[in-house]
Structure 1
Amino acid sequence: MKLFSANIEDLRTLYITNLKKALDMEQKITDALPNMIEKATDPQLATAFRDHLRQSEGHVANVESLLRKTTGDAGTVTCKAISGLVTEAEDSIKDASDPSIRDITLIACGQQVEHHEIAVYGTLRTWATILGLTDDARILESILNEEKAADKLLSSISDGVNMQAAA
């Protein structure tokens, strides 16, 4: 239960609050990915997670830069959605003892996170555009495209991994 609510009076405040949530989201993802890499048995999946970890580290730096430029500070606001997705992923990974089932679980959890990131960055990009923050919008569009590519890659990896798990 939330006792105090942020005072969101305008689009700029909403944008900044959600940038802070995006930073928290990316930090949580960079913390979670090493475990996902370690648990993946499919080499292509492990590589995809390693590559996305590097991208996510870049996303942290980019969002921190946007926040510093806009507010002078790179503080965070807790992203409850990603906290729930990470917890769900950790539980699902523990529950899957068969390596092929664990791999498809990792893919499913990874895609749930990607879909959330796509929604977040698409919204932030739109708000930045409306606010006339052209440089922000360009950076957010770049991050959004990387998230979409990561989701597409996980889908292509799942084609083979799902068949192995079904066998």
Structure 2
Amino acid sequence: MKLFSANIEDLRTLYTDTLEKALDMEQKIVKALPTMIEKSTDTELATAFRNHLEQTKGHVTKVEGLLRKATGEASTSTCKVISSLVASAEDSIKDAKDTGIRDISLIASGQQVEHHEIAVYGTLRTWAGLLGQRDDMAVLESILKEEEAADHLLTQIAGHVNQQVAA
């Protein structure tokens, strides 16, 4: 983790700084997902989180590779957004005493994280293209597609979980 703010003077520096934040983001999600799995009472939701944990571990590896290629190392920079989203999810888990409400809250938290990841990876993919990094672009596109699929799956699960709780 960096001790000082980045001195961002060009798109390449902004790109690598954002990759460092993406790595921090993915590492924090890897740490948060086991609790989300444990606290899920809907089996489909727990399975979705479990599968996404494995994907996220792959995202860590992919982003580390992009950073090593770009800078020679895979260091991180704090992603403040994901820190806040994880803290909010942890609060929701503690606050929801009803298991159905907790599942709905977990889905909402998961989707908030997915939406942030979709924004980050869409932006990084665009910047990689502008920088002529076609290989990076393909890696980022593959991560983006997995994040979009995870969000779509959570939307599907929310359909039945929300109905059950509302009934």
C-alpha separation between the residues in 1 aligned to 2:4 and 2:50? 38
Per-residue Cα deviation, 1:108-136 (whole angstroms, up to 9, x for no partner):
00000000000000000000000000000
Letter in 2 for 1:9: E
Runs of 4+ more than 4 Å apart: none
Structure 1 position 121 matched with structure 2 position 121: yes
The residue that corresponds to 1:26 in the other structure is: 26
| SS in structure 1 at match of 2:6 | coil
User: Which residue in 2 is equivalent to 1:5?
Assistant: 5
For the residues of structure 2 that align with 1:83 and 1:4, how far apart are their CA atoms? 18
Structure 1 residue 4, shift from structure 2 partner: 4.9
Q: Tell me which residue corresponds to 1:150.
A: 150
Q: Distance in 2 between matches of 1:141 and 1:97?
A: 39
Instruction: Show CA shifts across 1:130-167 (max 9, x none).
Output: 00000000000000000000000000000000011112
TM-score normalised to structure 1 length: 0.97
Q: Identity rate of aligned residues, in percent?
A: 72
* Secondary structure at 2:70 match in 1: helix
- 2:49 corresponds to which residue? 49
Alignment pair present for 1:99 and 2:92? no
In structure 1, distance between residues paired with 2:147 and 2:4: 32
User: What CA distance in whole angstroms lies between the structure 1 residues aligned with 2:156 and 2:66?
Assistant: 32
Determine whether 1:133 maps to 2:116: no
* 2:63 corresponding residue in structure 1: 63
- Alpha-carbon RMSD across the aligned residues, in angstroms, is 0.9
Shift of 1:6: 1.6
Letter in 2 for 1:37: I
- Give the structure 1 partner of residue 15 of structure 2: 15
- In the TM superposition, what is the alpha-carbon distance from 1:5 to its structure 2 partner? 3.2
- CA shift digits 1:26-48 (9 cap, x unpaired): 00000000000000000000000
> Which 5+ residue runs of structure 2 have no aligned equivalent?
none
In structure 1, the gaps of 5 or more residues are: none
Match of 1:162, as an amino acid? N
Counterpart in 1 of 2:161?
161
What is the alpha-carbon distance in structure 2 between the residues aligned to residue 135 and residue 98 of structure 1? 46
Which residue matches 1:73?
73
